[in-house]
């Protein structure tokens, strides 16, 4: 099997194994434990997660917080103020003063206006292609621009949790809590670092008491769900995500004798730092079988979509053939897949 072909990372998943709701209590989620030394697989649950960890390991968490980034509005015509068709928008990132990269569903051209809840409208500044547009936001009553605090306040009050595209339901108020980790604090992601969702406040506090831990922030973008469309994975252009590693965490990472990344985003942040020594910036690291981890010793992660860079990252830890075997075993044992699904620990 050619490890450089994107088709080598495809697999069939029964639809009923796609998790659309979080499991409660969190500790009841299944945990597949894979040991690279003897290629053994143990089936467990998150109640026993900590018993599989080496006592000396440093747990590295991503503390990004998901923005309620999906907003709904209607097109308005500037001259008449009449309303047109419904518009759906997804915030991606801030790119300047009152200038945001948004992804719109609906026909809009430069200069178009979209009215939202809360007395706010957006003006399309630039069409970037593929549904992406640069937009500025204003108050309807006096057309004054929103400052940064007002814009994110508007998202917080009127926005909806941006659930992954494979969850075919409307986001609920419960998703605002469940689609964030209990330690999420730095607002900026539009997708959750899903391995972190398995921990309740109690289980997270136990990990803090019993293990050394460090935090990084990588704001997960929508690109995390994209499949690799090119035939040769080395030709794939990786998306960029902003990150920061506090000085305290850098020191812990450099002194650690064993590191467990809680999630693929934590692993990519650690590995980007290992290669560049940058503690802040934009991470576009693509881990695969020809670009393996050099600092991360163990990985907690969920089960990922076919032909994605996330699945290729898993293969960079365990190999392509073993990734296939692990996933077939998980399907056979009816593990729940994707963001709200079960997890696997690679040792």
Q: What is the pTM of this model?
A: 0.93
Q: What is the pLDDT of residue 9?
A: 98
Q: What is the DSSP string of 115-169?
A: EETTTEEEEEEEEEETTEEEEEEEETTT-PBP-HHHHHHHHHHH-B----TT--S
Domain over 70-158 is classified CATH 2.40.10.240: yes
Q: What is the pLDDT of residue 139?
A: 96
- Ramachandran category for residue 81: left, alpha or beta (phi over 0 → left; psi -120 to 50 → alpha): left
Q: What is the pLDDT of residue 100?
A: 96
What span, in angstroms and rounded, lies between the C-alpha atoms of 163 and 149? 24
Q: Count Cβ neighbours within 10 Å for each residue of 5-16 and write b for 16 or more, e otherwise.
A: bbebbeeeeeee
Q: What is the pLDDT of residue 310?
A: 97
- What is the distance of C-alpha 99 from the center of its chain? 23
CB 147 within 8 A of CB 156: no
Q: What is the pLDDT of residue 278?
A: 98
Give yes or no for a cis peptide into 102 (omega within 30° of 0). no
Angle between helices 309-318 and 320-332 (to 10 degrees): 110
Burial label, 130 (beta-carbon count in 10 A; 0-12, 13-18, 19+): exposed
User: Percentages helix, strand, coil for the chain, rounded to the nearest 5?
Assistant: 30, 30, 40
Please report, for the chain, the start and end positions of each structural domain, with discontinuous segments joined by +: 6-66+171-346, 70-158
Q: What is the pLDDT of residue 16?
A: 97
What span, in angstroms and rounded, lies between the C-alpha atoms of 301 and 84? 43
What span, in angstroms and rounded, lies between the C-alpha atoms of 216 and 188? 13
Q: What is the pLDDT of residue 227?
A: 87
SS3 sequence of 90-101? EEEEEEECCEEE
Superfamily of structural domain 6-66+171-346 = QueA-like (3.40.1780.10)
Question: pLDDT (tens digit, 0 to 9) for every residue of the chain, 347 residues total?
Answer: 899 999 999 999 999 999 999 999 999 999 999 999 999 999 999 999 999 999 999 999 999 999 999 999 999 887 656 778 899 999 999 999 999 999 998 889 999 999 999 999 999 999 998 889 999 999 999 999 999 999 999 999 999 999 998 898 999 999 999 999 999 999 999 999 999 999 999 999 999 999 999 999 999 998 888 889 999 999 999 989 999 999 999 999 999 999 999 999 999 999 999 999 999 999 999 999 999 999 999 999 999 999 999 999 999 999 999 999 999 999 999 999 999 999 999 99
- CB-CB neighbours of 100 under 10 Å: 22
Q: What is the pLDDT of residue 80?
A: 58
């Amino acid at each position: 099997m050619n490890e450089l072909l994107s088709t080598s990372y495809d697999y069939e998943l029964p639809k009923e194994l796609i998790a659309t709701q979080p499991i409660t209590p969190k500790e009841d989620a299944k945990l597949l434990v894979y040991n690279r030394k003897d290629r053994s697989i143990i089936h467990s649950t998150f109640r026993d997660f900590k018993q599989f960890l080496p006592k000396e390991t440093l747990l590295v968490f991503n503390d990004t917080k998901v923005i309620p980034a999906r907003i709904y509005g209607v097109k308005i015509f500037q001259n008449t103020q009449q309303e047109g068709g419904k518009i759906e928008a997804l915030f991606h990132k801030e790119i300047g003063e009152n200038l945001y990269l948004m992804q719109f569903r609906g026909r809009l051209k430069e200069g178009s206006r979209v009215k939202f809840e809360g007395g706010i409208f957006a003006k399309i500044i630039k069409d970037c292609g593929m549904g992406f547009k640069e937009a500025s936001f204003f108050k309807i009553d006096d057309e004054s621009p929103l400052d940064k605090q007002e814009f994110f306040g508007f998202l917080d009050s009127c926005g909806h949790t941006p659930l992954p595209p494979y969850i075919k339901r409307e986001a609920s108020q419960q998703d605002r809590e469940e689609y964030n980790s209990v330690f999420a604090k730095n607002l900026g992601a539009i997708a959750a670092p899903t391995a972190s969702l398995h921990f309740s406040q109690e289980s997270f506090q136990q990990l803090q008491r019993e293990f050394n831990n460090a935090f990084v922030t990588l704001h997960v973008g929508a690109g995390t769900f994209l499949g690799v469309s090119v035939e040769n994975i080395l030709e794939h252009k990786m998306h960029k995500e902003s990150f920061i590693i506090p000085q305290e965490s850098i020191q812990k990472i450099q002194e650690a004798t064993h590191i467990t990344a809680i999630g693929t985003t934590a692993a990519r942040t650690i590995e980007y730092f290992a290669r560049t020594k940058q503690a802040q910036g934009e991470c576009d690291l693509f881990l695969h079988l020809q670009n393996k981890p050099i600092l991360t010793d163990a990985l907690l992660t969920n089960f990922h979509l076919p032909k994605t860079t996330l699945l290729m990252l898993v293969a960079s830890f365990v190999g392509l053939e073993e990734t296939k075997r692990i996933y077939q075993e998980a399907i056979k044992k009816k593990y729940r897949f994707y963001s709200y699904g079960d997890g696997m620990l690679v040792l």
